[in-house]
Structure 1
Amino acid sequence: MKSSFNEILNSDTPVLIDFFATWCGPCKTLSPILESVKKEMGDTVKIIKIDVDNNAALASKYQVRGVPTMLLFKNGKQLWRGSGVLQKDEIVNIIRTNT
C-alpha cells in the first residue's frame, strides 16, 4: 500500500523532501549526497524526491522557485527549508537539530 503524501508528512518520522528536476545539474550532485544521508540515518528519516516538472502543483503549493529545494517536515509541520547543494554532514546536522 502506498501512503499518501499527507500521511507521510504527518508521520512522526522526520521527512526530508527534495524538490528536483532531471535537467538540473546541482540536483544531480545532491542525489548521491542524499543517498549517503539515508545510509547514515537509516529509518530515522524518510527522504522523498519530487520532480518539479511532474508535480508542478505540489511545487507551487510549497512555493518552490528553484531547484534543488529541500523541506524538512515532522508531524505535518515544516521545520526547515533550504535551497542548493548541501554536504552530507550539513544535512544530517539539520535533520538532527530540527527534529
Structure 2
Amino acid sequence: MTANSTTSSTFQQDVLDADGPVLVDFWAEWCGPCRMVGPVLDEIQAENAGKITVLKLNVDENPDLAMQYQITSIPAMKVFQGGEVKTTIIGAKPKFALEQDLAAYLS
C-alpha cells in the first residue's frame, strides 16, 4: 500500500478539512532521504489505519504549498489537525523514532 498524495488543488479538502490528523510528507523525486522515509510512512499508515492519514506532497510540483509552509529542507513532515499544523518533523528518521514523534496521534 502506498501513501496517497495531495496537490495544491486538493490540499484544502484532503488536509485542512480532514476529520482526523493528517501527516503530509513534503518530498521530491530527487531526494534520497525522502525515498528512504516513504516506505516507513506507508508502514505507519497501514498499521494505524483510522488513526492518522499519510499523504505525500511533491514540492517540485506544488511549490506554492512548500513556500506557504516554509519547507526549506526535505524530507519534512507536518501533522495537520483541525486545519492547523500541530507537529513538524524534519529529516529522515527510523520507524521507531517517527512513531515516537507521532505517538500522540497513534494511540
Scaled by the length of structure 1, what TM-score is found? 0.87
| 1:21-32 superposed matches below 5 A | 21-32=28-39
- Which residue in 1 is equivalent to 2:44? 37
Indicate if the aligned counterparts of 1:80 and 1:98 stay in contact, CA closer than 8 A: no
- Classify the secondary structure of the residue corresponding to 2:56: strand
Does residue 1:4 correspond to 2:10, yes or no?
Answer: yes
How far, CA to CA, are the matches of 1:16 and 1:96 in structure 2?
12
Identical positions, percent = 33
From 4, 8, 13, the equivalent of 2:20 is 13
Q: Name the Cα RMSD after superposition.
A: 2.0
Indicate if the aligned counterparts of 2:51 and 2:105 stay in contact, CA closer than 8 A: no
CA deviation string 1:55-80 (max 9, x = no partner): 11110000101110100011112111
Unaligned stretches of 5+ residues in structure 2:
1-5
The structure where helix makes up a greater share of residues is 1
- Which residue in 2 is equivalent to 1:56? 63
Unaligned stretches of 5+ residues in structure 1:
none
Scaled by the length of structure 2, what TM-score is found? 0.81
- Which residue in 2 is equivalent to 1:79? 86
What amino acid sits opposite 1:95 in the alignment?
A: L
CA deviation string 1:36-95 (max 9, x = no partner): 111111121111101111111110000101110100011112111121012222223323
